[in-house]
Amino acid sequence: MADLPVRIVLLRPRNPENLGAAARAMKNFGLSDWAIAALGTHDFAAARRVAVHAEDLLDRPRLVASLDEAVADCAWVVGTSSRAVRGKRRLAPDAVAREALERAAEGRTAIVFGDERSGLTNEEVHRCHDLSAIPTGEAQPSVNLAQAVLLYAYEVRRAALAAAPARPAKAPEGATDAELERVEDALREALRTAGFLAGPERHAVRDLAAALRRARLSRREARLWLAALRTLGRG
């Protein structure tokens, strides 16, 4: 099976056994792309004891400093959180997997997991394009990090196996997260110049930018938006 277009992103993982178990889960279901931001442990010996037959993933982790760096080249960023946030969809894991494959021609999907103790911060939740949560029972809603990675990896694999072999015509390449961030910055500047943002920004720019993200802009469209907004901003 071809490389699956999904990157697992772990933020501030502290437990080395979780690293090893997450690597094993990825290998189980055919995922190899992962990024670790602000790694909280360097006990790779303990991680290797758990990463049975997935030691090669531990030998080449992509270590980054921030969520921004981890997802800059991804077209769709999904945060795992049970919170409800206005303007962001909340998808079940299987829906994330299906849409990730549908978006494969546009670019990679990042599935983002927060640290073991507190998950994603509010800022990180807002940074993601959409959200997803595992529908757990009320008696124990919290899922171990490595177990959560396994469940999403399983759903991606299942969706890939169920997908029809025929693919539609090549879709335009989707705008990356970094390109969408530049569009949002240009939008903010244009609105300030026009007097729309006379006071504190609050949620206006974020909500407007969220609508652009939902539109799934192509790279060409993102460049056009950026040029137009920068022209307006100079007005």
Per-residue pLDDT tens digits for 162-193: 986 656 667 789 999 999 999 999 999 999 88
Specify the amino acid at residue 133: A
Q: Under CATH, which number does the domain 6-162 receive? A: 3.40.1280.10
Spatial separation of the C-alpha atoms in residues 220 and 86, rounded to whole Å: 28
Spatial separation of the C-alpha atoms in residues 54 and 153, rounded to whole Å: 14
Q: What residues does each domain of the chain span?
A: 6-162, 177-233
Q: What is the pLDDT of residues 84-105, one digit of tens each?
A: 999 899 999 999 999 999 999 9
Tokens of 167: 């693919």
Residues in contact with 100: Cβ distance below 8 Å, sequence separation at least 6, in sequence order: 5, 6, 76, 78, 109, 111, 156, 159
* pTM score, whole prediction: 0.84
